[in-house]
Amino acid sequence: MRLGWTPERETEFEQYHEDALRPARVAVEHRSAYVLYGEQGEFRAELAGRLRHEEIWPAVGDWVAVRGSRRRSRCSPRTRRPSS
What does the DSSP assignment read for the chain? --TT--HHHHHHHHHHHTTT-EEEEEEEEETTEEEEEETTEEEEEEE-HHHHHHT----TT-EEEE-TTSEEEEEPPP-PPPP-
As a whole number, the mean pLDDT across the chain is: 77
Flag whether 41 is in a domain.
yes
Q: Does residue 66 lie within any of the structural domains?
A: yes
In a domain, 40, yes or no: yes
Q: Is the model's pLDDT at 19 over the cut of 60?
A: yes
**pLDDT at site 78:** 52
| 58: pLDDT strictly greater than 60 | yes
Domain count of the fold of the chain:
1
Contact (Cβ atoms closer than 8 angstroms) between residue 19 and residue 13: no
The reply to whether 80 falls in a domain is no
Give residue 27's domain range: 7-75
pTM of the model: 0.74
Residue 1 lies in a domain: no
Mean pLDDT for the stretch of residues 50-74: 72
- Give 24-47 pLDDT, tens digit per residue: 899 999 877 889 898 878 888 888
Question: Which among 31, 28, 21 has a CA at the least distance from the CA of 64?
Answer: 21
